[in-house]
Amino acid sequence: MQRYLVSRLIQSIAILFGVLVLVFFMVRVTGDPATIMMPREASPESIEAFRHKMGFDRPVIVQFWDFLTHAVVGDFGNSLHFKIPALPLILERLPATVQLAAGGMLLALVVAIPLGLVGGSTPGSVWDGIGRLIGLLGQSIPNFWLALVLIFFFAVRLRLLPSFGRDELRSMILPCFVLGLPTMGSLVRLTRSAVLEIRGEDYVRTAYSKGLRPNLIYVRHILRNAAIPLVSVIGVQFGYMLGGSIYIETIFSWPGMGQMIEQAIGWRDYPLVQAIAFLTSVIVVVLNLFTDMAYALIDPRIRYGR
Amino acid sequence: MGDRPVTNTPASANQISVSGTGLRVDEARRGWRHQLVYIGRLLWRDKSGVIGLVLFLTLVFSAVFAPWISPHDPLSQHLSESKLPPAWTEGGDWKYPLGTDNLGRDLLSRIIYGSRVSLTVGLVGVVIACGLGMLIGLVSGYAGGRVDAAISGFVNLILALPYLLFVVFIASILGRSLINVIMIFGITDSPIFARTTRGEVLRLREAGYVESAMAIGAGGWKILFDHILPNLIGPLITVATFTMSAMIFYEAGLGFLGLSVPPSVPSWGNMLSSGRKYLTTAPWIAGFPGLAIMFASLGMNLLGDWLRDVLDPRLRRVKK
């Protein structure tokens, strides 16, 4: 178990190093980072001055070393738009994004797990039908479009819910629903198929044949085993929500990191974009690491193996 | 499979139906034409698969025949007839069945032409991603050892990233063009194919028939073409269908953020993006392209679900 965790930790650090390399070279992929970051109408002289100021005229390897040593301690340079360090700007936006993702995840869990459990136990029933429909819709509805449709009906027509901002609890409802729906769909599908599969296992049949009460079998054998794949997917999906809320934050004017990256791209503020991309990756990678640790804790095959 | 007659099997065994399908085993074993009939029957039994196929064929049809089936030029503006509602609502005109946008362009024609962008990105993107991924996966699975560890590490790196964020990032740097969008999806989605290929190669290398082939002295290339590649087709086609659905979806998303094809090109994402401003006064401008994205995505997903069941015989029995 310890060896497994240590190897996962080393792997995570390697991945984050890879992300730094990627983020560094992405703004250089067209050959000249200065023209990407300067306004389109900038004069050649001002671009030249900017290039020198940012140090883009130094050898790439020197720039990379500089970038690396600063990034490791959380220094991504100043945001070009705000003229202050990028990191505190992002940290200021982080709570809003986490709040949105947490709300979306909560909504997804509350709806998906019961539906999946019922659907898996009674395939073909009405509840199973509803669960499968949610599974399909969550997979197919474009969330940026769903957001517009919901705004149109609930904010413009019915005037029930606010269409933007983060002022009150009610303003969380629409964005959380839109962000949570794809996860809801995949969790319903996963829970359903896990229950269906486990119901047919030998140990469940044995439990029945030795006369164990059905309720007890459900809790002790089916639920416990269905929880194993769920834990890993929930962790991964949460990371996906944190990095995938760009459309939703943009449409609902939700003041999180997703909205900021969209704005930063509009301002050509690439140091800020780089910082957001790296920080989000750190969060996602750490989340995946924790998920794997939780997975190892609840699954004896990993706990005792390796 | 193939045409080889099954001689040493008792006749009764041939009469056993492939469970759940009502088809006899011997039907499934005859030549490719029978295979097609067999697949057609399996498809007919799964109604959601039929819906998926119909939606997909509609998409292909509208993309291929766009100039002949669209009622108007998707680019011609009629400012006096701007923001006309759909024909069946008050103030609508059957001249423009789905209404017009803020510049008086016919929405139906723009949606039909928009399918060309979606389908091109989806198809070409998947071909690139699949080709690239398969190559990487084959090298990784065959080489093993350090090469495999390095490649798998890189693949895991890409798969661990917040996908959307990096796609948006790179698209904003490269600029708006069809080629750029295709290349972005082709490259960023190849790790999924690489992982699938590698997994299959590792599984197949251990398979009894591959071992037997090696034992009777078949060469590496022969094993690759006779045993590995044919067995890869099934899983890869399934992954390709889902990936294509995702590409159509994300292309529209990039268009929505103004990062996909140039604004002059009619695409579903661009239409959504410009329609968003008129959400309160003319909701149909953003509404219809969104429906188009949804049905295209739904079709590919249903098709993918069905293909997964049909191409993987182990799953066929699980289906009710």
Chain B residues within 8 angstroms (CB to CB) of chain A: 153-154, 156-157, 160-166, 168-170, 172-174, 245, 249, 252-253, 256-257, 259, 272, 276, 279-280, 283, 286-287, 289-290, 293-294, 297-298, 301-302, 320
Is A148–B249 a contact, with Cβ atoms under 8 angstroms apart?
A: no
Name the minimum distance, in Å, from the CA of B8 to any CA of chain A.
34
Q: Measured on CA atoms in the order B284, B290, B293, B296, is the torsion positive or negative?
A: negative
Rg (CA), chain A: 24
Q: How confident is the model at residue B110 (pLDDT cuts 50, 70, 90)?
A: very high
Query: Higher confidence at residue B291 or residue B318?
Result: B291
Region B52-60 average pLDDT: 94
Is B165–A140 a contact, with Cβ atoms under 8 angstroms apart?
A: no
Region B208-219 average pLDDT: 84
Residue B91: what pLDDT? 80
Residue B8: what pLDDT? 41
Residue B68: what pLDDT? 93
Query: Higher confidence at residue B91 or residue A260?
Result: A260
Q: Measured on CA atoms in the order A122, A124, A130, A134, is the torsion positive or negative?
A: positive
Is A142–B156 a contact, with Cβ atoms under 8 angstroms apart?
A: no
* Residue B11 reports pLDDT greater than 50: no
Please give the Cα distance from A65 to B49 (Å, whole number): 53
What's the pLDDT tens digit per position in B122-138? 999 999 999 999 999 99
Q: With beta carbons less than 8 A apart as the criterion, state whether B265 and B281 touch.
A: no
- Cβ atoms within 10 Å, residue A25: 11
What interhelical angle do A60-72 and A2-26 show, nearest 10? 130
The identity of residue B126, as a single letter, is V
Residue A99: what pLDDT? 93
- Ranking A113-127, B14-28, B29-43, B285-299 by mean pLDDT, the lowest is B14-28
- Below-70 pLDDT ranges, chain A: 1, 302-306
Share the mean pLDDT of chain B: 83
Residue B311: what pLDDT? 77
Share the mean pLDDT of chain A: 87
Element (H, E) at B24: strand B23-24
Is B297–A142 a contact, with Cβ atoms under 8 angstroms apart?
A: yes
Residue A302: what pLDDT? 66
How would DSSP label each residue in A134-197? HHHHHHHS-HHHHHHHHIIIIIIIS--S-SS-SSSGGGGHHHHHHHHHHHHHHHHHHHHHHHHH
Chain B CB within 8 Å of residue A173 CB: no
Residue A305: what pLDDT? 56
- Cβ atoms within 10 Å, residue A273: 29
Q: How confident is the model at residue B244 (pLDDT cuts 50, 70, 90)?
A: very high
Chain B residue closest in CA terms to A36: B173
Please give the Cα distance from B124 to B235 (Å, whole number): 19
Q: How confident is the model at residue B317 (pLDDT cuts 50, 70, 90)?
A: very low
What's the pLDDT tens digit per position in B247-293? 999 999 999 998 999 988 899 999 999 888 898 888 899 999 999 99
Residues 271-290 (A) with a CB less than 8 A from some CB of B? 273, 276-277, 280-281, 284-285, 288
Q: Mean pLDDT highest for which of A164-173, B42-51, B189-198?
A: B189-198
**Interface with A, mutate which of B51, B152, B157, B247 (most A CBs under 10 A):** B157
Region B61-75 average pLDDT: 91
Residue B319: what pLDDT? 39
Residues of B in contact with A18 (CB under 8 A): 154, 157
End-to-end CA distance of chain B: 25
Predicted TM-score (pTM) of the model is 0.84
Is A145–B272 a contact, with Cβ atoms under 8 angstroms apart?
A: yes
**Which residues are CB-neighbours of A241 under 8 A, at least 6 positions away?**
A100, A101, A104, A105, A179, A180, A183
**Interface with B, mutate which of A17, A139, A288 (most B CBs under 10 A):** A139
What interhelical angle do B284-311 and B107-143 show, nearest 10? 30
